[in-house]
A and B are shown apart, each in its own frame.
Chain A
Amino acid sequence: MRWETVIGIEIHAELLTKSKIFCGCSTEFGSRPNTNTCPVCIGLPGALPVLNEEVIQLALKAGLALNCKVNYINKMDRKNYFYPDLPRAYQISQFDLPILYDGYVEFEVEDIIKRVNINRIHLEEDAGKLIHLEDEPYTCIDYNRGGVPLIELVTEPELRSPKEAFEFVKTIKTIFEYVEVSDCKMEQGSLRFDANISVRERGQKELNTKVEIKNMNSFKEMQKALEKEEKRQIELYEFGEGDKIVQETRRWDSAKGRTVSMRGKEEAHDYRYFPEPDLKQIIISENNVISLKKQIPELPNEKLERLISQYRLNKKEMQIVVEDKRLTQLFEETIKKGARADKVLNWIIGDLLKLMKMGDASKNIPITATTLAELIKSIENGDISLKIGREVFEEMFETKGNPKEIIAKRGLVQVNNEEELEKIVGKVIENNPKSVADYNAGRKQAITFLMGQVMKETKGQANPKTAMNLLKIRLP
């Protein structure tokens, strides 16, 4: 391993506010184009920004969850550049005094705890959206997203592999979901990330030329893009063509599976930052920070540790649950309703995840703690078999139904009545003399076949324990 990869990440997350950062327009996704706009967010002459107080609170929550320090006095600045998605031709952002700085986050990569320092988190407004038409010579602009509040998080260049970058971004997403600062919907652009990557010889102190990669739309894509770029750089160094690596922005083309230089767009960037004169400085009181700290919920890492030791569960499986806030909530609440932790975990890891992956995984989970707890109870009570339970679960997932109603409606209640079962067992033994003979000859697995026949006769509703006992009694 001659080469060492150095990666730094920038994450943009849209904050979960009702209204935009500087005006009263809605932040709702998917509205008709340009309908969530007003003089302020389309930059009409004379209109002035007024800061949304919730933006500060959400940013602080995010930062405190990531162990950041607070700049009790900070300010907004103007970042000046022309682009049609930026209505005032300046973005209101933060330059030398970000609201939060010097944080860190810890996560596990291949069983080793990795700590990555966070350089800063600052506030800014989102830009509008450009839609480039395929067949017409136009670009269409929709300013609905313009002015939606964002936090930008910048790490130190401390990630050492695309895999680490992947784990890092996943961790941040989960934390943001836990503290409810962003809905982190990547498909709606409410969580986006760029990465800076360079490669150097192991042991070398200074950093080599870095390349910025944009347009990575999912965690997996990001990892792929970084692996591709890592390989490209290493190859160039190995062929003695390191000078071909220039500081530039490259766009990830996921269809072609490669990064493409965006040099055409690169101009001399000189953002001419200066303090935003239309806004006063932001002052944060200590009491505000103290009370927010108290509101920070148990974070994924702590939760994982606690749940594992409390219920003695499989770490890998529990990790999958903890990474998704919705699953975690379902898990904990179902337990509160009296279900056993290992059972709940099995349902979530097995059936629920499988069903979720078949559809749109980002959709709301149709299973509630109440319905899942009921289902588990029905199985434990012997009302239905585990196999029937799976069918019921599937229907619960599709119809958001209640297990009791589904069982009743479909007449799935287990046959527990010994008299009735005895008749069926008798019939099966009568009809399958060969298997009975096999069993009697010592091939004990033949009982499985007979059991299957009992189930077939009862359409799966026979209580397996009772049926098995009866079989064993009847077969000498």
Chain B
Amino acid sequence: MNITKTEVLHICKLAKLKLSEEELCRTTAELEEIIQHMKCIEKFSFEEKEITKANVKTALSDGKIICQKENITQIDVKTQVLRKDEVKPFSDYEKLFRNTRDMKDGYIRVPKIIE
């Protein structure tokens, strides 16, 4: 057993989805099957040098450094994409909210949230 109904319910809550009792059983079984397959990845061994946080923090001389850490690989300053700090408003305000169902006085309305 890789995943229990309770876990599925917890995930549903995080994902804001609701399952009927019947769907819950079926979904649990399906996820069980998929996760069973996915578990193979756990056993897969990776050749890797353990790269410490400190290494990532090593200074780089204006751009040229190759370093690896978790999801950061092959660094090249030139690949950076940044935007200038300029105000460029969207052209068509009316269209922007044409799909919104409940708007009043410029505000989007939802049922009252109690904090």
Contacts and interface: CB of A to CB of B under 8 A. Distances in A.
A34 B107 contact: yes
A320 interface: no
B86 A139 contact: no
Contacts, number: 145
Interface string B64-104: 01010111100111011111111111100100110000001
Given A53-B84, A130-B113, A287 B62 contact: yes
B115 interface: yes
A136 B113 CA distance: 11
B57 interface: yes
B105 interface: yes
Contacts of A50: 81-83
A283 B60 contact: yes
Interface stretch (B9-17, B18-26, B29-37): B9-17
B69 to A, nearest CB: 8
Contacts of A141: 107-110
Interface string A16-38: 01110000111000001111111
Given A33-B107, A286-B61, A137 B14 contact: no
A44 B96 CA distance: 9
Interface stretch (A201-209, A267-275, A344-352, A411-419): A267-275
Contact of B90 (A37, A265, A282): A37
A134 B114 CA distance: 11
B72 to A, nearest CB: 5
Interface stretch (A6-14, A69-77, A324-332, A368-376): A69-77
- Band of interface residues on B: 35 or more
Contact of B85 (A17, A84, A272): A17
A275 B109 contact: no
B56 interface: yes
Contacts of B112: 132-133, 136-139
A75 B67 CA distance: 14
A476 interface: no
Contacts of B59: 72, 286
A116 interface: no
A283 B77 contact: yes
A447 interface: no
Nearest to A270: B14
A38 B90 contact: yes
Interface in A249-306: 251, 262, 264-265, 267-268, 270, 272, 275, 279-283, 285-287
Given A32-B106, A142-B107, A272 B14 contact: yes
B107 A35 contact: no
Contacts of A130: 113
Nearest to A75: B72
A18 B87 contact: yes
A42 B96 contact: yes
Interface string A117-143: 000000000000011110011111111
Interface of B: 10, 13-14, 16, 56-63, 65, 67, 69-72, 75-77, 79-90, 93, 96-97, 104-115
18 contacts: A18-B87, A19-B85, A32-B106, A38-B89, A44-B96, A51-B81, A51-B82, A53-B85, A54-B85, A56-B82, A71-B56, A73-B56, A73-B67, A73-B69, A73-B72, A283-B75, A283-B80, A287-B62
Q: Report the 8 A-B pairs with minimum CB-CB distance, sorted nearest first.
A: A24-B88, A38-B90, A140-B107, A54-B85, A33-B106, A53-B82, A141-B108, A139-B113
Interface of A: 17-19, 24-26, 32-39, 42, 44, 50-56, 69-73, 75, 82, 84, 96-97, 130-133, 136-143, 251, 262, 264-265, 267-268, 270, 272, 275, 279-283, 285-287
